[in-house]
């Protein structure tokens, strides 16, 4: 540590330091600004001559020209090892609960703590044997972490092939213990512990190949799974103006999605929302495992009032943790809320660096940064043939709710599904407010494609009739057209809309979706016979109520069948060819 | 004695540049001119140049004037003696009583560890049905009132302050008209609330840079009181003036503007203030209500737009009423499930019908024939506007819910409402059927 490069401050502009250094510096190297007895973490983001620009991950108040800088020679890295699950970190992977124990109510700057508990003991079972040849990411052994086998792997940073010299026998070890000794072709010997470090801004690529994502990731949200599906290993974005329910939707997905591990990156958003997750997840049960939801979750939380540079780092930290668990053959879901705040962090730094601005003064490299972030998603075949995936869902908060802005546009280019939230729908309290006509998905739906076409057609026609009615009035519309409108409204109310605050309606399983979707399609397919529009409206209101009540009854409840009978009876009341 | 610098090498806008050494970022300085002394704050360091924003403005500063660095950032007293007092944006007494200098703390302190926050669960009752029923205000919420010039937003703010059950009220005025300031003070006084209030007032005639300090002063004091187990309500009016002051400084510093001249960090700057709203785990709470006037009634203007993404909802005040569309309390779900069993359903159903009513109104204005359903909606809409939306209505939540059922029952039959059957059975007025 002592012989590392040093320097001193020559300029302070917001959270940007200009530093004069002595010997060589590395781009994206971590450095510390020393202010009395505290050290503030910073990252080199530009070098010009003997001066480097550093973004500080903390407030810079009190720093003076001439204050010393210590460089570390390390890139900004995440620590990977057993014990990450259930944790709550800030953007730099400091554990927030331990910070609270140490420094109380406030996040005092300059306090950094180990992300992992080095003294915790883990029950190790070896897999590799002396003499085996391993590559980075290959499994040495495993420890149980919650419901998963947490594999101890040859660190991702080990290049080339390594021969195993020895492996620790089964037993309890802490995180400092040497689990294996390995040697490469050049005769270099290294110890492997359960912990490894990886620079967050570089993708982990220890896998054989990347596959096309095909299997749906069931989110238990009807409008998503049936109409705009998301695939395991795919990407999706949820742009929407404020108040359209982005965060509520993300919470619903994080609770009900059928992923092994869920990582939530609360990036530049409200602290209150993170608190809801922090306090509620431990209480909620994952119906698939019977364990607390927290057991499968990691939360990276860099809320809007926390330093902006750490906000930029937080999404990279999150995706690096996702890649780590993917390497164990798990399906990981990463939810980033919101990528716009991350883009704004880029913009703030770009402005301080006085770079030539692009559109809306976002930096010119915005698109490539967004693309390379989403490209870290994917379904991969690991070295041993097993599969793992990362699905990335990013919410976008476009300025003024206008999807033409640069962040939304750059995101749309690289994602596989677009779940656009609409203010009109949210004002009309139609939740989730995903727009059924504007949104799209390139992935395969769980329901029958031809039926889906019919449903979409009905929605489109219904909207047209509704538009027309605004011009020619209800009296100028034929009863047939009016019934199409009523059918589209019916589909909207009983299928697209879902009440996240109701215990039953909040999550609809795949089987139930297919089942009820067919019921809804039956209604759309039926020719009804009505004397006039008022009777038609009244009939559909009644039918809708029967269906809504059905949505609130558990699938395996005896009442479900009862309610279904009522619906069938109701349909035949007016069906032309009953 | 600290060193005094005489070499002001640049004066541009309200920012002066001095050659000085050993100065900390964000430290305060005193600039002494022939017209008096003003506070100034370091906003940038570059080699031996120190950039200072001068709170009283740069008018009348001479290149030979004295600059003395104080060696600490802006501070404010957090003593209990502040209660009942009125200060300027920079913390000087405005009520011709002596200044308070005990218990000084730095303003703009670090943010709260999310692990030390709790989920807000306490409703703040206001007696305004549009808030209590439809967009419940919750302790520790941060909520702006989006409005335009001429609307009674300050009256609304004052009314909520008077009716809310809180321990301390802190009012921050930015660019406040002098009349409005007097009105606030008198209202607080009349209701006997002045003795539990602290006022930081920057009026429209004060130098604009001074308004930058107001939110931080208010929130630093609020934080200290909240840590002493007090429930604090912070009222800020008007945050658009604050943002405009930010814009002015950013432009002077030749920062690249992002949107309509506002700096790229507007979101972070606003968030740093609003995020001070908190319900501490094991101490008091801070609730923030802030007025944001929308230039040109345009919600996509950068200030209301960024604000909307930060705050936990918003109230739209338009034509003297709180608009049901667009207005939103994100925290209402935390409390309205435990008020009364019918709270949520009344809220949803009435808003839905009101939206339909608006559509029908449109149809009516275009001269279309009204169906019997349209007539029902028209009847409902009129009653909703006069009996619920009017700001003069002042009834407790339970009465407002009963009124909601009554209006529904007078206009519709149970099936038409689409309300779950078991709730209809429990709450539908018995005399209606």
pLDDT of A475 reads: 82
Taking an 8 Å cut-off on Cβ atoms, the answer to whether A305 and B25 are in contact is no
Other C-beta atoms lying within 10 Å of the C-beta of residue B430: 7
Classified as helix, coil or strand, A294 is: helix
Residues 146-185 of A with CB under 8 A from B: none
Q: Are strands B313-318 and B142-147 parallel, antiparallel or unpaired?
A: parallel
The per-residue pLDDT for range A547-572, each reduced to its tens digit, is 999 999 999 999 999 999 999 999 99
Please report, for chain A, the start and end positions of each structural domain, with discontinuous segments joined by +: 6-75, 88-94+111-199, 209-441, 449-574
* Six token digits for residue B170: 């802190």
B260 φ/ψ sector (left φ>0, alpha ψ -120 to 50, else beta): left
Q: Which CATH number fits domain A209-441: 3.40.50.300, 3.40.190.10, 3.40.640.10, 3.40.50.620?
A: 3.40.50.300
Q: How far does chain B reach from its first CA to its final CA, in angstroms?
A: 85
| B306 to chain A: closest CA residue | A399
B344 contacts A61? CB cut-off 8 A: no
Question: What does the pLDDT average to over A118-140?
Answer: 95
Tell me whether B361 touches chain A (CB under 8 Å): no
Alpha-carbon distance values, B123 to B52, B335, B394 (Å): 43, 6, 17
* Among A13, A99, A350, beta carbon nearest to B113: A99
In the predicted model, residues of chain B with pLDDT beneath 70 are 1, 432-433
> Does A429 touch chain B if contact means CB atoms closer than 8 Å?
yes
| B313 half-sphere exposure, CB direction, 13 A CA radius | 27
Q: What is the 3-state secondary structure (H, E, C) of A431-487?
A: CCCECCCCCEECCCCCCCHHHHHHHHHHHHHHHHHHHHHHHHCHHHCCHHHHHHHHH
Question: A487 in contact with B at a CB cutoff of 8 Å?
Answer: no
Contacts of B274 in chain A (CB under 8 A): 305
The CA distance from A129 to the nearest CA of chain B, in Å, is 43
pLDDT tens column, A366-412: 999 999 999 999 999 999 999 999 999 999 999 888 899 999 999 99
Pairing of strands B231-237, B168-176: parallel
Going by C-alpha positions, the residue among B236, B314, B233, B338 that lies closest to residue B279 is: B233
Give the whole-angstrom CA distance, residue A330 versus residue A386.
9
What CA–CA distance (Å, rounded) separates A531 from A235? Answer: 48
On the 0-12 / 13-18 / 19+ scale of CB atoms within 10 A, B426 is: exposed
Which pLDDT value is given to residue B264? 86
The interface residues of chain B toward chain A in range 239-298, judged by CB-CB distance below 8 A, are: 255-259, 263-265, 267-268, 271-272, 274-276, 278, 280, 283
- What was the ipTM of the complex prediction? 0.85
B79-99 tens-digit pLDDT: 999 999 999 998 999 999 999
CA atoms within 13 A on the CB side of A356: 0
Q: What's the pLDDT score for residue A578?
A: 46
Pick the CATH number of A6-75 from 2.40.10.170, 3.40.1790.10, 2.40.160.210, 3.30.310.80: 2.40.10.170
Q: Give the domains, in start order, of chain B with CATH numbers.
A: 4-69 (2.40.10.170), 79-331 (3.40.50.12240), 343-432 (no CATH)
Contact residues, chain B, for A400 at CB < 8 Å: 299-300, 305
**Alpha helices of B263-342 — where are they, by DSSP H?**
266-274, 302-310, 332-336
Nearest to A304 among B271, B278, B421 (CB): B271
The CATH-assigned architecture of domain A449-574 is Orthogonal Bundle (1.10)
| B375 at A interface, C-beta within 8 A | no
Condensed to tens digits (0 to 9), the pLDDT of residues A9-64 reads 999 998 999 999 988 899 999 999 999 899 999 999 999 999 999 999 999 999 99
**With an 8 Å Cβ cutoff, are B114 and A344 in contact?**
no
- Partners of B105 on chain A (C-beta within 8 Å) are none
CB contact under 8 A, A552 and B420: yes
Which of B116, B302, B418 lies closest to A541 in CB terms?
B418
Contacts of A279 (CB under 8 A, 6+ apart): B118, B119
Interface of B with A in 99-118 (CB under 8 A): 108-118
For the segment A270-294, the average pLDDT, to the nearest whole number, is 86
In terms of DSSP H, where are the helices of B253-371? 266-274, 302-310, 332-336, 343-365
Q: Which fold has domain A88-94+111-199?
A: OB fold (Dihydrolipoamide Acetyltransferase, E2P) (2.40.50)
B428 touches chain A (CB under 8 A): no
Measure in Å the smallest separation between the Cα of B167 and chain A Cα atoms: 21
Mutate to test the interface with B, among A305, A404, A539 (most CBs of B within 10 A): A305
Question: Is the Cβ pair B275, A304 closer than 8 Å?
Answer: yes
Question: Are the Cβ atoms of B46 and A475 closer than 8 angstroms?
Answer: no
| A 193-232 near B (Cβ less than 8 A) | none
User: Which residue of A lies nearest to B358 if distances are taken between CA atoms?
Assistant: A428
pLDDT for A577 equals 61
Q: Report yes or no: B17 at the A interface, CB cutoff 8 Å.
A: no
> What are the tokens at A213?
């994502």
**pLDDT tens for each residue of A429-452:** 888 999 999 999 999 999 999 999
List the alpha helices (DSSP H) in A327-405: 339-352, 366-374
Q: Is A8 on the interface with B (CB under 8 A)?
A: no
**Beta-bridge partners for A335:** A264, A393
pLDDT value of residue A3? 59
């Amino acid at each position: 540590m002592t012989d590392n490069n040093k320097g001193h401050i020559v300029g302070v502009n917001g959270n940007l330091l200009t530093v004069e250094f002595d010997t060589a510096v590395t781009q994206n190297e971590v450095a510390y600004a020393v202010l009395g007895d505290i050290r503030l973490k910073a990252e080199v983001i530009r070098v010009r001559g003997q001066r480097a620009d550093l973004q500080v991950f903390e407030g810079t108040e009190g720093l003076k020209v001439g204050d010393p800088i210590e460089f570390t020679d390390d890139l900004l890295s995440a620590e990977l090892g057993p014990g990450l699950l259930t944790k709550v970190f800030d953007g730099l992977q400091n554990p927030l609960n331990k910070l609270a124990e140490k420094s109380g109510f406030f996040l005092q700057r300059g306090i950094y703590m180990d992300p992992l508990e080095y003294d915790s003991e883990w029950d190790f079972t070896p897999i590799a044997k002396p003499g085996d040849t391993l590559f980075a990411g290959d499994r040495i052994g495993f420890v149980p972490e919650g419901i998963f086998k947490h594999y101890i792997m040859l660190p991702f940073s080990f290049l080339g092939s390594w021969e195993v010299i020895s492996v620790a026998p089964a037993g309890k070890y802490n995180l400092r213990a040497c689990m294996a000794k390995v040697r490469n072709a050049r005769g270099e010997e290294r110890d492997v512990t359960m912990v490894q470090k990886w620079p967050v801004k570089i993708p982990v690529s220890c896998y054989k190949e990347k596959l096309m994502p095909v299997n749906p990731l069931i989110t238990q949200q009807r409008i998503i799974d049936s109409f705009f599906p998301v695939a395991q290993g795919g990407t999706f974005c949820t742009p929407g103006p404020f108040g359209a329910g982005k965060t509520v939707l993300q919470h619903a997905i994080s609770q009900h999605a059928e992923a092994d591990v869920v990582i939530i990156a609360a990036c530049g958003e409200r602290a209150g929302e993170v608190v809801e997750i922090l306090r509620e997840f431990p209480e909620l049960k994952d119906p698939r495992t019977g364990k607390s939801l927290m057991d499968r979750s990691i939360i990276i939380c860099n809320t809007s009032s926390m330093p902006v540079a750490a906000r930029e780092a937080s999404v990279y930290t999150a995706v690096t943790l996702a890649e780590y668990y993917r390497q164990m053959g798990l399906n990981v879901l990463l939810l980033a809320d919101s990528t716009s705040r991350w883009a704004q962090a880029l913009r703030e730094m770009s402005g301080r660096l006085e770079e030539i601005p692009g559109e809306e003064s976002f930096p010119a490299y915005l698109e490539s940064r967004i693309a390379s972030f989403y490209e870290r998603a994917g379904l991969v075949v690991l070295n041993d043939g097993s599969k793992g995936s990362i699905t990335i869902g990013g919410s976008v908060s476009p300025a003024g709710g206008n999807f033409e802005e640069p962040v939304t546009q750059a995101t749309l280019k690289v994602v596989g599904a677009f779940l656009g939230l609409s203010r009109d729908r949210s004002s009309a309290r139609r939740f989730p407010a995903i727009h059924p006509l504007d949104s799209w998905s390139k992935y395969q739906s769980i329901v029958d494609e031809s039926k889906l076409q019919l449903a979409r057609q009905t929605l489109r026609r219904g909207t047209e009739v509704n538009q027309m009615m605004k011009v020619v009035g209800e009296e100028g519309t034929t009863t047939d057209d009016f019934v199409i409108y009523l059918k589209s409204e019916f589909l909207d109310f009983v299928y697209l809309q879902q009440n996240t605050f109701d215990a039953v309606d909040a999550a609809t399983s795949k089987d139930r979706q297919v089942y009820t979707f067919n019921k809804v399609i039956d209604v759309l397919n039926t020719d009804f016979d009505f004397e006039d529009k008022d009777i038609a409206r009244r009939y559909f209101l009644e039918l809708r109520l029967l269906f809504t009540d059905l949505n609130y009854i558990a699938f395996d409840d005896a009442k479900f069948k009862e309610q279904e009978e009522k619906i069938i009876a109701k349909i035949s009341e007016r069906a032309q060819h009953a | 004695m600290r060193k005094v610098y005489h070499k002001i090498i640049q004066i541009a806008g309200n920012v002066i540049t001095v050659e000085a050494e050993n100065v900390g970022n964000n430290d305060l300085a005193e600039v002494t001119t022939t017209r008096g002394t003003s506070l100034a704050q370091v906003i940038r360091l570059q080699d031996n140049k120190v950039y200072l924003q001068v709170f009283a403005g740069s008018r009348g500063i001479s290149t030979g004037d004295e600059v003395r660095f104080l060696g600490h950032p802006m501070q404010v007293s957090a003593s209990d003696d502040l209660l009942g007092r009125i200060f300027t944006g920079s913390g000087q007494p405005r009520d011709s009583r002596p200044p308070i200098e005990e218990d000084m703390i730095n303003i703009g302190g670090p943010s709260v560890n999310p692990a030390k926050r709790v989920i807000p669960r306490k409703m703040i009752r206001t007696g305004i049905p549009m808030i209590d029923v439809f967009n419940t205000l919750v302790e520790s919420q941060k909520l702006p009132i989006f409005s335009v010039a001429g609307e009674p937003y300050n009256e609304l703010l004052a009314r909520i302050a008077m009716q809310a059950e809180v321990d301390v009220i802190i009012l921050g005025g930015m660019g406040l008209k002098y009349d409005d300031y007097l009105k606030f003070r008198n209202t607080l006084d009349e209701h006997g609330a002045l003795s539990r209030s602290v006022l930081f007032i920057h009026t429209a005639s004060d130098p604009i840079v001074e308004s930058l300090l107001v939110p931080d002063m208010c929130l630093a004091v609020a934080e200290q009181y909240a840590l002493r187990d007090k429930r604090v309500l912070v009222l800020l009016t008007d945050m658009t003036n604050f943002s405009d002051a930010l814009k002015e400084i950013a432009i002077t510093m030749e920062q690249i503007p992002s949107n309509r001249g506002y700096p790229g960090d507007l979101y972070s700057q606003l968030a740093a203030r609003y995020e001070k709203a908190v319900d501490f785990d094991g101490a008091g709470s801070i609730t923030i209500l802030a007025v944001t006037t929308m230039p040109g009634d345009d919600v996509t203007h950068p200030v209301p737009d960024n604000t909307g993404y930060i705050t936990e909802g918003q109230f739209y005040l338009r034509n003297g009423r709180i608009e049901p569309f667009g207005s939103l309390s994100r925290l209402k779900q935390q409390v309205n499930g435990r008020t009364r069993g019918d709270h949520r359903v009344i809220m949803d159903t009435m808003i839905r019908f009101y939206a339909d009513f608006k559509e029908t109104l449109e149809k009516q204005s275009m001269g279309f024939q009204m169906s019997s359903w349209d007539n029902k909606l028209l009847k409902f809409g009129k009653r909703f506007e006069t009996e619920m939306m009017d700001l003069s209505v002042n009834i407790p939540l339970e009465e407002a819910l009963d009124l909601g059922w009554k209006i529904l029952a007078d206009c519709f039959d149970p099936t038409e409402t689409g309300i779950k059957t078991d709730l209809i059975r429990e709450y539908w007025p018995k005399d209606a059927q």
